[in-house]
Homo-oligomer: A and B are copies of this chain.
Amino acid sequence: MDGSLIPVDVTGHDSFMPRFHRRKVILVTGGAGFVGSHLCERLIAEGHSVVCLDNLLTGRKENVAGLLDHPQFRFLEQDILNRIDWQGPLDEIYNLACAASPPLYQRDPIHTFRTCTEGVLNLLALARATGARILQASTSEVYGDPEISPQHEGYRGCVNTVGPRACYDEGKRAAETLFWEFGAHQGLEVRIARIFNTYGPRMSPEDGRVVSNFIVQALTRSDITLYGDGMQTRSFCYVDDLVAGLMALMASEVSEPVNLGNPGEFTMRELAEMVLTQTGSSSRLVHRPLPVDDPRQRRPDIAQAARLLGWAPTVPLAEGIARTIRHFAGEPQVVRAREALLVHA
Contacts and interface: CB of A to CB of B under 8 A. Distances in A.
Contact of A162 (B113, B117, B164, B192): B192
A325 B174 CA distance: 38
A174 B110 contact: no
Nearest to A181: B109
Contacts of A160: 156
A177 to B, nearest CB: 4
A3 interface: yes
Of residues A158, A160, A162, A257, which shows the largest number of chain B Cβ atoms within 10 Å of its Cβ? A162
B167 A177 contact: yes
A177 B192 contact: no
Given A110-B181, A162-B256, A117 B176 contact: no
Contacts of A257: 161-162
A185 B110 CA distance: 10
Contacts of A163: 180
A85 to B, nearest CB: 17
A180 B292 CA distance: 15
A185 B121 contact: no
A151 to B, nearest CB: 13
A174 B161 CA distance: 7
A170 to B, nearest CB: 4
Nearest to A172: B161
A249 to B, nearest CB: 15
A178 interface: yes
For the complex, would chain A's binding face be called helix, strand, loop or mixed by DSSP majority?
A: helix
A257 B166 CA distance: 14
A129 to B, nearest CB: 15
A142 interface: yes
A2 interface: yes
A93 B192 CA distance: 37
8 contacts: A110-B181, A113-B117, A113-B181, A144-B156, A162-B180, A166-B180, A170-B174, A170-B176
Interface string A205-245: 00000000000000000000000000000000000000000
Contacts of A41: none
Interface string A73-107: 00000000000000000000000000000000000
A170 B178 CA distance: 10
Given A110-B181, A156-B159, A161-B176, 10 more contacts: A2-B3, A109-B181, A110-B178, A113-B174, A113-B181, A117-B118, A162-B256, A166-B180, A171-B174, A173-B174
A117 B179 CA distance: 16
A159 to B, nearest CB: 6
Contacts of A177: 113, 161-162, 166-167, 170-171
